[in-house]
Structure 1
Amino acid sequence: MPESAQSPSATAGARVAVVTGAGTGIGRAVARAFLDEGWAVVLAGRTRATLDEAAVRHPLAHCVTADVTDRDDVEALFAAAVERFGRVDVLFNNAGVPGPQGSVDELALADWERTLAVNVTGAMLVAGAAVRTMKAQRPQGGRIINNGSIAAHRPRPRTAAYAVSKHAVTGLTRSLALDGRPYGITCGQIDIGNAATALLSDLGHGGGHVQPDGSLKIEPTFDVAEAARTVVFMASLPPNAVIGEVTLTAAGMPWDGRG
């Protein structure tokens, strides 16, 4: 349900972005970067308090609590965006969970299903609602940017559920790019490695990250603001240009083979 509103005159002429998982991490940084660039932003997430903190009472921010795995919540999110701002120009399809630690023989079915529910089914539900909204805006169309991960290319050890989910996001991205073409809807993906967020810290063990040989290593990171700046750049391209895929990692981090 929509939970904040500002004067329509404050948003006249602004481009409109919907950001899921906007209360923390990469989503929070991206939402703030959009606001700094003069975009109107619908910040979506499950926790109102973190959304309010991310929105910083900005006149172009509109907070909506939503669970991306709930179809009704997702539909209400886009209805709220259209009601508040009249359209949706860009979706940053970002909400996700890190999933359980473990190789495939060790995973509990419930943990596997939860990871896929958020990272794959949730991404599909949000993208589907965005496409329906953008089709209704023709000839304007719109743009979708999916947050993949470096794990869409190379998994970390013992992260089978997350790696599978992010490979699936790549399939979703490519399908959206193809199916959206007749409607002026573009889709690209950003695959980020080692942006400094709480999620990256959660993946660490004893002050380091597990390497393929079982050792722990402190890996380099980069400021999450750089990831946000890249997303805003992708979003700001003219309709006849699209970045299909971009990989942004910390310089010197283990990548190919993760070693």
Structure 2
Amino acid sequence: MSAVVVTGGTRGIGLGMVRALLGKGHRVALCGTDSERVDTVRAELPGTLALTADVTDREQLRALWDAAVEEFGRVDVWINNAGISHDRTPLWQLPEQEARRVVDTNLLGALNGSAVALAGMSAQGGGHVWNMEGLGSDGRTVAGLGTYGASKRAVTYLTTALAKEVPAGVSVGLLSPGMVVTDLLTHGYDDAEELAKARKIFNILADRVETVAPWLAEQAVTRTRNGAHVRWLTTPKIIGRFVSAPLRRRDLFTDQERTR
């Protein structure tokens, strides 16, 4: 069984992966910035090493690495999952502090986590680092989400570059969860009509955390070749879902799903 660290592991996809990894017998350490949520997860998931840490602070991530190594003996897989979005608004209307917080968390957090994990894995003789993709990673643009998309595009570039410079025995890769029903997916829709239109697409292409996270967790511990790019929502799957949409009624937002 592997020893895995998940940043941003107290909610959403991160928490879903933590649960799935524990269910398969892996040893898991996680971090989050909300100490109350960290305490709650620690209580709900006995055996988990749950610490409060801010991914924008490299020293705090070094402390997370050290705690995981002390607890498990080594870290086999490190997942830079922590990420946040912002209100759907043009860049020139987005407050500077909000833009900075998104870039710092999504990009600087991945930089810091990668630097800490790669150095530690080099010293221990091996390991794998995953960075999490999101909207914008493939170059697709959405009005009002330029800052978030740019941060995720940069994470993809960063990971591709890291694959060319990792030390011997260490590897990196990208996890792409597709559209997952979390607060990030629906965040920032102030117009009810716009949200209703978006939900029609989400009900075709999106999935719940409990569907995607176990699959991602399994890939994270098994597909650890250097440069791996693991995608949940592939092009054939997208085409298939649109083709079958008239026959498949899904409502991911009211816990109802049926096929006719």
TM-score by length of 1: 0.81
Quote the Cα distance in structure 1 between the aligned partners of 2:232 and 2:153. Answer: 14
Quote the Cα distance in structure 1 between the aligned partners of 2:79 and 2:114. Answer: 9
1:129-188: CA deviation from partner (whole Å, max 9, x where unpaired) = 0011101111xx1111111113212132210100100000001111222212x4222211
User: Equivalent residues in 2 for 1:224-239 (5 A)?
Assistant: 224-237=209-222
Return the letter of the residue paired with 1:195.
V
* Larger CA deviation: 222-231 vs 128-137: 222-231
Quote the Cα distance in structure 1 between the aligned partners of 2:15 and 2:9. Answer: 4
CA contact (8 A) 2:212 2:232 kept: no
CA contact (8 A) 2:41 2:50 kept: no
CA contact (8 A) 2:181 2:207 kept: yes
Q: Given the alignment of the two structures, is residue 90 of structure 1 paired with residue 110 of structure 2, yes or no?
A: no
Return the letter of the residue paired with 2:47.
L
CA contact (8 A) 1:39 1:60 kept: no
Give 5+ residue unaligned stretches, structure 1: 1-13, 254-259
Q: Given the alignment of the two structures, is residue 191 of structure 1 paired with residue 172 of structure 2, yes or no?
A: no
CA contact (8 A) 2:86 2:188 kept: no
CA pair 198-112 structure 1, distance change in 2 beyond 3 A: closer
Q: Report deviation, 1:239.
A: 5.3
Q: Report deviation, 1:49.
A: 2.7
Q: Give the structure 2 partner of residue 147 of structure 1.
A: 132
Selected match of 1:36 from 23, 44, 50: 23
Paired residues, number:
233
CA pair 177-227 structure 1, distance change in 2 beyond 3 A: farther
Give 5+ residue unaligned stretches, structure 2: 243-260
CA contact (8 A) 1:152 1:170 kept: yes
CA pair 128-241 structure 1, distance change in 2 beyond 3 A: closer
Quote the Cα distance in structure 1 between the aligned partners of 2:155 and 2:193. Answer: 27
Q: Give the structure 2 partner of residue 160 of structure 1.
A: 146
Q: Given the alignment of the two structures, is residue 204 of structure 1 paired with residue 192 of structure 2, yes or no?
A: no
* Larger CA deviation: 113-122 vs 147-156: 147-156
Quote the Cα distance in structure 2 between the aligned partners of 1:239 and 1:127. Answer: 15
Quote the Cα distance in structure 2 between the aligned partners of 1:248 and 1:53. Answer: 31
Q: Report deviation, 1:15.
A: 1.4
Q: Give the structure 2 partner of residue 248 of structure 1.
A: 233
CA pair 158-16 structure 1, distance change in 2 beyond 3 A: same
Alignment RMSD (CA, Å): 2.4
CA pair 208-76 structure 1, distance change in 2 beyond 3 A: farther
* Larger CA deviation: 37-46 vs 92-101: 92-101
Q: Given the alignment of the two structures, is residue 130 of structure 1 paired with residue 111 of structure 2, yes or no?
A: no
Return the letter of the residue paired with 2:198.
K
Quote the Cα distance in structure 2 between the aligned partners of 1:176 and 1:193. Answer: 22
